[in-house]
Every structure is written in structure tokens, then in C-alpha cells.
Chains A and B, each alone.
Chain A
């Protein structure tokens, strides 16, 4: 049976259909979970998709962390379940304290929607397990607040803990250390600014995002088996 992926929808989320379609193309079954739900059902993995949850008012992710579903997400993560935040989802995970650091406005103070090349720098994460370090993927970015920041001690800890999952080859936003994605210490919670669901169909120009989604599905299947 296919892995079950819960795609969390906040008011203002807008990438939920794209993520659901991409993970289904990769072989999973996707279901949309409303932000007021306190139960993730039988999910084997959770994705927080991109968009502007609660309008990004106050600060991206600052209100979404208080949505009822986030308690369930935190519980799922604590139990070792794979949780992936893409773009706005990454911002929400940092605001919720499930990932270190923060995402601030891009260098240049403009929105950027463009192709990006990222290098896989860790195999210890829910989206890169089994993907060789050094693999270069072409996956678009689409954000205003995508510049990853953290203090020096956190950065050192991320490096020492092999938690930097993806780095940009051409940094589009001023992120510290070219960071495009990070994981928690256990590797089961991951945030990334590039949108793998936008690189999941040859018709759109790249299928490299399927590499990350396939790894996630494999992790989800592992959770199921355990």
C-alpha cells in the first residue's frame, strides 16, 4: 500500500494541490489536513507546503505556529515521523521551534521566483536519505523571506551535526553559509526553501524534485514498517 502523506493547509496556504499531485506522482497517497484539525490521521509523513499561512501577517509562520494542527505535527515529529516544511512550511517550522534558525527577508529586499541549483550536503535527512552527497539538483525557489539566519553557535552545531541538508550553488537570497535546507538533530524534521513539487514533471523543465520526494516516501514507508 502506498505511503500516506498528510499535506497541512492553513488559510493562505497555496501550494497544497501542487504538493499533493507531486507526491501522488511519486507513488504516495496524499490527503489535505485543515489547520484546525488536531489529528493527522494515519499519516506516515507530514508536509507543510508553501504559501502565505494566515497572510504571513506579523511575520511568516508567526501566527501559523499557533494553529491547532501544530500540536499534532510537533507530536508526530517527536515520535520520529518525517515532517517536511517547504518554503512557508520551513518558516512555520522555525517559528514553531521544530527547526533552529529563522528566515528573514531576502538580500535585496525583493521577492525572487527563479530556478536554483542546490547541492545535497547531508544524507542524514528525511528528504536526502540515500541521495549521494554532492548531487546537484535544479529546483526553483519562490520567496520573499528566504534568507536563512542563525547565530554562530547554532551554525557550528548544524555543521557538526550534519544538519545542513541543501546548499545553493548560486545564493539567491543571502542565506548564511548558502543554506537552502536544514534538518533537526534527528534528521526527521526538514525545512527547505526550494520547491521540489515544482520540479516534478519534465513538461515543466525539471524532474529533480522527485529525487527528494522519493527519498521522503521511502522514509515514510520505513515509518510504516516500524
Chain B
């Protein structure tokens, strides 16, 4: 076998001839040696380009794989675990739910609109690749403070990109998170989660089989956009201000999205799968054709011949390595039998989707070590062989690093710097107001209602959707999803902080009556070559594993985003956890967050931390970090069993409301029993901002004031002790009795009513005494007023 020499890659990359090619492509000298060992010869330029993208951090998880193995991945509902395009669980009633989360941090930092838009497009393809119709998107977003014009540009661009792509492609964005912290100023985070559903029997996996079958490229043409996205962009940090021009020069590595192409691609692919016309299907994402062809072949234990000249290109004179590594959007690779090909082509024509046979599945080569499927890149069918490599080596032989880990140097000082006792009380009312922010500026720009499934949308504790969609069997069930993070906790203690984040997700699901069934995670960290970042990553994975094991939750998918750094400074560790839950019967609206006039307000869960420390720890709280700039201390403890008991109680109480047959007063007001007569009329978990913020948000949502008594000062108002809920009820006696029977502490704090929000200390003095209208105004204006700040540095200093 002779392999044609590669094209002058140096020249097309604009490199000087003296620079070793493998290093410019992001491969180390050691990795080059591994490639030579796999091939038994020197790779040509095209082959080197293929290994460079596939062995990039982004594609290979070479720094994190060794740690990810510690996560629990099995469970009775799991149909597909990690490693496929999306995790899939059995939701019952013949319906499977697919879920996936990803980051698009680096592209969004360079070009926020397209970066965020193509993040949505990519995650949708991961989900419909499994045969699922994408039904909902969630977007956790992290930026620097909005007093900088650049941050406002980034936020506007990212939200606009999600809006433009998600709305047009026809998938509702049902929730997310918005976090501001200076650590994201040079490297914002844009994560995206997608949920889809499918009839169980339509489940397909991305693998090729059947030598002689055709590899068919569906969708958009292949251009020069996004070349090197995974290696140039996603697997390196940013230079920051000093190297702003160099960072801007990476803009051509950002792909450009076309939601209309994607919409047609979704409909065509789901129609192909419904008709049983494809053997396997795989999306083209990071590393483009190189990844899709090698992964489908490797998973199926076969080889593949790819005719690079058959690929429809957007511009002339594209080199084979460009065609193979382009990250042009809205493309899929389907494996099709020759007999089905005419029908596939006809169906694609109806949906106006381009379909081109670009390769064939080949028999694996028999070797002493077993069968080896080879990925060959050809110039014309039967033409010159431009590359010839073992398909599995791109994925399976990627390097695996156990990088050095060490706790950050200042950790002991940070833990010792506890704001709990040392930080004096201030004006609790003003501090509470500063924590309030209505996120609706963002989510009003997202279609969050399409498919008429959204029972609880953005702004609630978790999104709650009917388990329904075009082509699904009928079901009365609901599905719920939440994304959570707390970098301020994880910066202090990544292990405990990540466990607390999982707990928070489970609590959020309980508020809409859902029981958790599976977890996905997006691990956003700094530079893995920094030992403290590897320590943070390893600790966070342990915290994730511990909490998921305790709650019986399998981790069915995830994404690791490293090199989130700017000018040498890493972001705070930011594991984002998505938790998927189910509701057995969703017939009426759950209680919601809003208080109702006259209801008693009850705290479910412990009143204080039972340990040896302070009863109301403030370390890592929003009050301490955002309000006082104190980023150290000790996190509150998490009692996993107590947490589970509290969440199960709340989920059961909410499910009783949601599962009741519709009250049925017919047309007109039609609020479907919202805030009805059950034991519970409102519920909200106590999380960031503590009890004070929970009460304020419930008052604002209900348009009703509240008076809470006997609160032990600012510490009890702002502590973020987990496993706690505020519930409003017209029947406090029976509710408290039920809580006590379940082993969950319960205390009546006061009652809802009037037009003011009052929180009294143990001595009867008012810690907070604000007019509801004033509070609601601050909440509503917080985000718009910061965004409309006229010039850099002249903005509202709040927050």
C-alpha cells in the first residue's frame, strides 16, 4: 500500500517552514511518536491533521477520562449511557428520553452570537442522532459583571444567538441560569442542554455496519468555517487583554449556523428513521467528517472508504485535510444500504435536504491482533489513497494523561477566611434587594412554549414539561429538568460544592413534583496543565460521584470543557449539573412559587446546621461573595439522607396537586387549579441568597406581602444551608404533621398577606421591612438597568 503524500499543509496554514507541523496542529512530540507507533511509519500531512483534531483535548478527553471512570453510570432506566451522542432513559409508556449537555465557551467568547447559536445547533444534532425529536433546550450562561461594555456585548450576543437559532429551528428554550462573576470576564461560559423524546423502538446508535453499505452525507455543504475549532479554539486558553488581537484572529475558527437548514435536517432525519431507511446515523460536530467517519466505523467494528472529492464543498480548491476537519454546521452522516439509497434520496429531496453518497463501509482487515477497520481517504472512488489509518485509533488510541494534581496554594488561607462570624451585619433590606434579579430579560427572547408542553417554564425552580411530542405514544406523565451550578461553592471546596450542586438540582425537581432519574454534567474548568485545576476537576468528579451514588442517580452523559482561562488566570471550577426527573401523572398545574393571601409560611428542613460549627454558616454564600467580596470560609454541611427525605416529601406533596384530576371550571380564567386548595399552595427551595431571597421571590411572584418572625439575624436570613424549602399552605397543622412523620423538621415562620415584606428578628425588630412594590421594581429592573448602562465604568455599581 502506498499512501500519497499530503498537500503543502504548511503553506495553507500560513506557517513558516521551520515550525514542526505537529506542534502547530496542537500535538506534542510524545503524541507524534504515538501516531508513528500506531501506523508503523511517519504520518503524512493529512493523517497528522486527522490525529491532531481527534486527539485534541476537546475530542479525546485525554486529561479527564481517567477520572470520569469514577462516575456511576448504571441504573434500571438507563437505555444508553455515556459515550454515545446522548444518554437515553426509559421514561415509561413506550417513551424514551434522550438528554445531552455541552459547552460552547470558546466560540462564544470570540463571536457570541454565532458561538451560542451553533452551540444550540450542535446539541440538537446530538439528540436527534439518537432518533429523538428535540423538545427542549436549557442554557446556563456565565459572564463577567455587566459594568463592562464587553460583558454586555457578550450577554446580548449570546442571548440573541440562542434566540435566533433556537426559536427558528423550532425547539423551545425552557430554562437555564445566568451567573455573573469577575472570573468569567475573560472567558465566558455558554453551556447548552437538550432534551428529546422518542418511541423506544426508534432508538438508533451511531454506528456503521454491513460492508458495502453507503456513507451518505446529509445537509449543508462543507466550507472552510470552523476548521481547527476543537484544537485551535477549544483546547487552548485565551490571552486576555494583552493578546486580544490574537484571540480575535481565531474568529474564522468559529462556525456559522443556519437554523433553517437544521430544521429541514431534523425533519428529514426523523422521517428517515421512522421509515427504517438508515442502518446508523451520526452527527458532524467537532472535528467534522474525521470524527463522524472514524467513530461510526470504530463503533461498528468495520472500516470506511471516504471519497473526499465527492463531498459537496462551499468553495473551490479546498484541500482534503480541510474537507475532513471542517466543522461546517448542519451536517449528518447516515449509513444506508444500497437498496434503500434511492428512497433515502427521494425523501431528502422532499425536505430540500442535500444527500450525497461519499463513501462505503468496508470489511475489517484481518490481522494477528484481530480485525482492524481502516479509515481510508480517497481522491475519487478507487482513486489515490490520501490517508490510511486504523479507524479505531483516532478514538481509542488517543493519549490518556494522569496529569499532576495539587490543591491550590492559598487553599488553607481561603478556608480560614470565614465570613460567618467575622463579617458584621449590615442593612439586611438593602443587601436583600441587591441579590434580586429577574432573568426574564433573557428568557422573553426565547420561545419557551413551542409544542405546548411547557407547564413550568423559565423562572421556575425547574422546567416541567408534558411528556409529549409529535409521533410519541400518549402519556399522562411529565418530565422535569434543571441545570445548576455554584462556582462560589466549588472555588472553596470543589468536592463538597459539586455534591451540593447535585443536591440543589434534586431539590429544584422536587418543587415541581418530579423524582430524579438521571444526571448529565458539563465540567467547565481551567487549564489542565495547571496542577490545581486538575485537583479541582478530580475533586469535583468525586463530589459528583458521591452525591449521585447517594441519590441513586446514574450519570448518563457529560462534557468536559478545559482551558477556560484568560491571561493565565483560570476560571473558578464550574461544574454544571443537569438533572432529569419524571412525574407520574401531570394533570393539573403544580403550586408554583407565588404566595397566596392568608396562607401560612412554613420552613421545611433544618433551621440551623447541627454540626460543631456556626449554626448559620455563610461561607460561599451569595451574601458573602457578591455582597461582601468574601470568597472563603466553610461550606454548609450536606446530610444526604436528610436531603433525600426532604426532597421526597416535597415532591410527593407537589405531585398530589399536579396529579389531581383537573378541577374543570371550563373556559375563561382557566388557571387550572394553580394555587388551589390542596395542602400546598406554593413552594420554593432555599438556595442562593438563602431564606431571605426565597421569601422575597415568593412574595414578588404571588404579588402578596409576607411577615416572617423569629429569624436569628442576618446569618439565618442569608445562609445557604441545603435541603430546605419554603412552603405556603392554608393547612399548616396537617402539613407540619406530615413533615414530622417523614422525619423532616418543619417550622411555621409567619403568614402571607398585605403589601409589605417583613422579616423580624428573634427580638421582634425588623431585619427587613420593605414595600412589596419597591422590591418587585428592583427585581424587575436589575438586569435591564445594568444592560442599559451608557458607558464602561459608569454603570450601576450594584452587584
Report A's interface with B, CB cutoff 8 A.
11-12, 14-15, 17-18, 21-22, 51-52, 54-57, 110-114, 140, 142, 144, 195, 197-208, 210-211
Interface size class of B (residues with CB under 8 A): 35 or more
In Å, the complex CA distance between A51 and B259 comes to 12
A11–B351 CB distance below 8 A: yes
Q: Which residues of B contact A200 (CB under 8 A)?
A: 452
CB neighbours of B587 from chain A (8 A): 203
A22 to B672, CA, bound (A): 17
CB distance from B682 to the nearest CB of A (A): 16
B contact face: mostly helix, strand, loop, or mixed: loop
What are 29 A-B interface contacts by the 8 Å CB criterion? A11-B263, A12-B260, A15-B450, A52-B168, A52-B259, A54-B260, A55-B258, A55-B259, A55-B260, A110-B163, A110-B444, A111-B163, A111-B167, A112-B445, A142-B450, A144-B167, A195-B449, A197-B452, A199-B670, A202-B589, A202-B673, A203-B455, A203-B587, A203-B589, A204-B452, A204-B454, A204-B455, A205-B671, A207-B668
B672 touches A205 (CB 8 A): yes
Chain A residues positioned under 8 Å from B666 (CB to CB): 207
Cα separation A55 to B445 with both chains bound (whole Å): 18
Report the separation of the CA atoms of residues A207 and B667 in the bound assembly, to the nearest whole angstrom. 6
The 8 closest A-B pairs by CB, nearest first: A55-B260, A14-B170, A202-B672, A207-B670, A52-B168, A111-B445, A17-B470, A111-B163
Contacts of B466 in A (CB 8 A): 203
Cβ of B674: which chain A residues have Cβ within 8 Å of it? 205
- A contact residues around B447 at 8 Å (CB): 111, 113, 142
B453: nearest chain-A partner, CB-CB = A204
B415 CB to closest chain A CB (Å) equals: 44
Assembled-state Cα–Cα distance A18/B259 (Å): 20
Q: State the Cβ distance, A95 to closest chain B Cβ, in Å.
A: 17
Alpha-carbon distance A192/B673, docked complex (angstroms): 29
Among A11, A51, A206, the most chain B Cβ lie within 10 Å of the Cβ of A11
Asked if A51 meets B667 with Cβ closer than 8 Å, knowing A202-B672, A203-B586, the reply is no
Asked whether A205 lies within 8 Å of B670 as measured between CB atoms, the reply is yes
Q: Chain A contacts of B170 at CB under 8 A?
A: 12, 14, 51-52
Q: Given A52-B260, A52-B263, A114-B444, is A205 in contact with B589 using a C-beta cutoff of 8 Å?
A: yes
| Chain A residues near B260 (CB-CB < 8 A) | 11-12, 52, 54-57
Please name the residue on chain B nearest to A34 by beta carbon.
B350
A-B contact sample (12 more), CB < 8 A, given A14-B450, A204-B455: A12-B260, A52-B260, A111-B164, A111-B446, A113-B446, A113-B449, A142-B449, A142-B450, A201-B452, A203-B662, A205-B671, A207-B670
B351 lies within 8 A of A202 (CB): no
Whose C-beta in chain A lies nearest to the C-beta of B448? A113
Give chain A residues whose Cβ lies under 8 Å from the Cβ of B180. Answer: none
Docked CA distance A206–B446 (Å): 20
Shortest Cβ distance from A142 into B: residue: B447
> Is the Cβ of B588 less than 8 Å from the Cβ of A18?
no
B352 within 8 A of A: yes
Check B446 against A11 for contact (C-beta < 8 Å).
Answer: no
Q: Which residues of B contact A (CB under 8 A)?
A: 160, 163-164, 167-170, 258-261, 263-264, 351-352, 443-452, 454-455, 466, 470, 586-589, 662, 664, 666-668, 670-674
A12 to B454, CA, bound (A): 21
The distance from the CB of A14 to the nearest CB of chain B, in whole angstroms, is 3
The smallest C-beta distance from B362 to any residue of chain A, in angstroms, reads 35
B84 CB, min distance to chain A CBs, angstroms: 27
Question: In the complex, A25→B520 CA distance in Å?
Answer: 36
Chain B residues lying within 8 Å of A12, measured Cβ to Cβ, are 168, 170, 260, 263-264
Complex contacts, B470 vs chain A, CB 8 Å: 17
Q: How far is the CB of B701 from chain A (nearest CB, A)?
A: 14
User: Which chain A positions have C-beta within 8 A of B452?
Assistant: 18, 21-22, 197-198, 200-201, 204
Consensus secondary structure, chain A interface: mixed
Rounded to whole angstroms, the CA-CA distance of A57 and B168 in the bound complex is 11
- Complex CA gap A52/B258 in Å reads 12
| Chain A residues with CB under 8 A of B160 | 110
A195: chain B residues within 8 A (beta carbon): 449
Chain B residues within an 8 Å CB radius of A144 = 167
User: How distant is the Cα of A166 from the Cα of B445 in the complex, in angstroms?
Assistant: 23
Nearest opposing residue in chain A for B468, CB measure? A21
Pair B163/A202 contact, Cβ less than 8 Å:
no
Q: Within 8 Å CB of A114, what residues of B?
A: 444
Are A17 and B451 in contact (CB-based, < 8 A)? Answer: yes
Known: A11-B352, A51-B170, A203-B586. A140 touches B449 (CB 8 A): yes
Least CB distance from A172 to B in Å reads 9
Complex: chain B residue closest to A36, CB-CB = B350
A26 to chain B, nearest CB (A): 11
Smallest Cβ distance from A22 to chain B, in angstroms? 7
Q: How far is the CB of A184 from chain B (nearest CB, A)?
A: 28
Task: Please determine whether B259 and A112 come into contact, CB atoms closer than 8 angstroms.
Answer: no
Residue in chain B with minimal CB distance to A14: B170
Q: How far is the CB of A115 from chain B (nearest CB, A)?
A: 10
Q: Which residues of B contact A21 (CB under 8 A)?
A: 452
Q: For the complex, give the distance between the alpha carbons of A211 and B170 in Å.
A: 26
Compute how far the CA of A198 lies from the CA of B668 in the bound complex, rounded to whole angstroms.
Answer: 14
**Which residues of B lie under 8 Å from residue A112 when comparing CB positions?**
444-445
- Write the chain A residue with the least CB distance to B267: A11
On whether A202 and B662 interact (CB within 8 A), knowing A18-B451, A18-B452, A111-B167, the answer reads yes
Report how far A167 CA is from B466 CA in the complex, Å: 31
Please determine whether B444 and A113 come into contact, CB atoms closer than 8 angstroms.
yes
Chain B residues with CB under 8 Å of A201's CB are 452
A16 to chain B: closest residue by CB: B470
Q: How far is the CA of A205 from the CA of B675 in the complex (A)?
A: 12
Bound complex: CA of A199 vs CA of B667, how far in Å?
11
- Write out the residue numbers on chain B whose beta carbons fall within 8 Å of the beta carbon of A202: 588-589, 662, 664, 670-673
> B451 contacts which chain A residues (CB < 8 A)?
17-18
Given known contacts A202-B671, A207-B668, A11 and B445 CB-to-CB distance under 8 angstroms = no
| Residue among B259, B446, B670 making CB contact with A208, cutoff 8 Å | B670
**Which residues from A are CB-within-8-Å of B450?**
14-15, 18, 142
Task: Determine the chain A residues whose CB is within 8 A of the CB of B667 once the complex forms.
Answer: 207-208, 210-211
A residues less than 8 Å from B443 (CB atoms): 113
CA distance A133 to B339 in the complex (A): 61
CA distance A171 to B671 in the complex (A): 23
- Give the nearest-CB partner of A208 in chain B: B670
